[in-house]
Amino acid sequence: MGAPSIDEIAEEMYQMVADSMGKKNLKSGDLSKAIQKKYPDVDRKMCKLAIRQLMDNGRCVYAYFGGSYIQLPHKEGAAND
Amino acid sequence: MAKRDTPMLDELLKGPYPSFVKELYKVQERKPMVQDLLGQLEDSYEERIGHWKHGGIVGVMGYGGGVIGRYSDLQDKYPNVAHFHTMRVNQPAAWFYTSDILRKIADIWEKHGSGLTNMHGSTGDMVLLGTTTDELEPTFQALAKEGFDLGGSGSVLRTPSCCVGPARCEWACYDTLKLCYDFTQEYQDELHRPFFPYKFKFKFSGCPNDCVASIARSDMSIIGTWKDDIQIDQAAVAEYAKAGMDIQADVIDICPSKCMKYDGEGIEVDNHECVHCMHCINVMPKALAPGKERGATILLGAKAPIMDGALLASVLVPFIDLNDPDEVEDLHELIGNIWDFWGEHGKNRERIGELIQRVGMSTFLEAIGLEPEPEMISAPRDNPYIFFKEEEDEEEEE
């Protein structure tokens, strides 16, 4: 299997985050390890770029719950109107 | 006095030292946010329970650090502190400011936040206390316009910090400010985008006095040291004696490795036995100084007791010449190897020092590609933490 592009890695990561929402918080390292396991030719730098793309276009956001995690944008549960 | 009735906070004004409450009382006249802050704090004191909810997804676009989300769980009672987020701002190396820039930062925070600051947080950042989610991005833009960036929070590289170094200290064995600035620029990605199992801190001290306590407070501690002999000005030693200093009692007898002698006329140092504790240099700054062949020792693994117990750092690289670009490049490569191993094997919220404890130092050194050396020690005068096998020694001799 050939190495996927950054866009393709970002899409796979997005799906992982979307599938885990409400069940498990994923860290950058979790996403990176899963991608590298599936595509051994992908290095950490490519994973970083894919995560950066997800953040910069607003599809994902960083969250802090004791450690830093990646989530889909959502209304802050703690922020009452 | 407080707009709300705050008898317990009022008690803090009666102590012998200035209280933060006094400043909060001043600010509440113009900031309803601070009035509610005082009210909530009084409630916390009465009930002995905190009312802040911590964390969440607040931040500025693209960054995973720099904003610490904080919400009140008494939002109906204190609506002005429903959001009370903290912003960490990357401080200038060694905390040098002009009064002009301090006024500008104060104006930005007066406009966008509570006006309350903490100069500085324990990591070293400027800490701007209390703003709403809507004001985070405008504050960030206003700070960026003045040349400031956010610092680190969460599972990122935390804002590097350093001592005043050669800017104000003659004992600095390397340019701490330059290295701190260079590292901050080099690792912008790691500072703003969480990619680590947990936090990672660099601290830079110019000499073994370690004024930023890097050996206890940073994952990677870079402490200035020297290789050659302590510089001695015997004429200045005589001046100290003439001025009444008891050199034998106050310097020689206190030397931890007993490497000094004083014969009434001059000081002699057995430099091979010196552990660079800096005591004699601190006591006789006009007579003694660090040697001329200066560089730094790299240590790894310290942390404060948040998850597990506190750890002090251990020596990783005994001496590095930080004026040599090749050696600095090697250091960056080593840091990359350390982060790769940590990223691969570190558990969630496991600091690098804890990982080393879990896997063992020899496994760790092998993984990051560092040859063991006898100077790798956990404390001065201690045995190396590496045990060299006898058969390996014999092989080398052959």
Q: What percent of chain B has pLDDT over 70?
A: 96
Give the domain B231-289 fold. Answer: Alpha-Beta Plaits (3.30.70)
- B156 contacts on A by Cβ (under 8 Å): 68
The interaxial angle of helices A6-20 and A28-38, nearest 10 deg, is 120
Fold match flag (B7-145 vs B161-227+293-397): no
CATH superfamily of B161-227+293-397: Sulfite Reductase Hemoprotein, domain 1 (3.30.413.10)
* pLDDT, average across residues A56-68: 91
Residue B1 is predicted with a pLDDT of: 46
**CB-based burial, A52-68: b 16+ in 10 Å, e otherwise:** bbbbeeebbbbbbeebb
Q: Do B195 and A51 touch (CB under 8 A)?
A: yes
Pseudo-torsion of CA B122, B128, B129, B132, nearest 10°? -140
* pLDDT, average across residues B327-333: 96
* pLDDT, average across residues B300-304: 91
Where in chain A are the domains? Answer: 6-71
Alpha helices in chain B (DSSP H): 7-12, 20-28, 32-47, 99-112, 133-145, 176-186, 188-192, 214-217, 234-242, 247, 279-283, 325-345, 352-359, 361-368, 390-397
Q: Do B71 and A63 touch (CB under 8 A)?
A: no
pLDDT at B380 > cutoff 70 = no
Interface of A with B in 17-76 (CB under 8 A): 27-29, 32-33, 44, 48, 51-52, 55-56, 58, 61-68, 71, 73-74, 76
Question: How far is it, in rounded angstroms, from Cα A25 to Cα B284?
Answer: 56
Please provide the DSSP assignment of B194-256 as one string.
Answer: --SSS-B-EEEESSTT-TT-HHHH-SEEEEEEESSPPEE-HHHHHHHHHTT--HIIIIITT-T
For the stretch B33-78, pLDDT in tens is: 999 999 999 999 999 999 999 888 888 998 999 999 999 999 999 9
Interface test with A, best of B52, B57, B63, B155 (most A CBs within 10 A): B57
Evaluate whether ipTM surpasses 0.90: no
What are the structure tokens assigned to B242, written together?
């003439």
Domain B7-145 has CATH 3.30.70.2500: yes
What are the structure tokens assigned to B3, written together?
């707009």
Average pLDDT, chain B: 92
Where in chain B are the domains? Answer: 7-145, 161-227+293-397, 231-289
Task: State the residue for tokens 């796979």.
Answer: A12
Query: Which of A27, A44, A73 comes nearest B155 by C-beta?
Result: A27
pLDDT at B305 > cutoff 90 = no
Distance from CA of B25 to the nearest CA of A (A): 27
For the stretch B233-246, pLDDT in tens is: 999 999 999 999 99
Q: Does A6 touch chain B (CB under 8 A)?
A: no
CATH number for the segment(s) A6-71: 1.10.10.10
Question: How far is it, in rounded angstroms, from Cα B55 to Cα B252?
Answer: 53
Residue B47 is predicted with a pLDDT of: 96
Question: How far is it, in rounded angstroms, from Cα B395 to Cα B398?
Answer: 5
For the stretch B3-27, pLDDT in tens is: 678 999 999 999 898 899 999 999 9
- B61 contacts on A by Cβ (under 8 Å): 56, 58
Q: Using pLDDT thresholds of 50, 70 and 90, give the confidence band for residue B122.
A: confident
Q: Do A62 and B343 touch (CB under 8 A)?
A: no
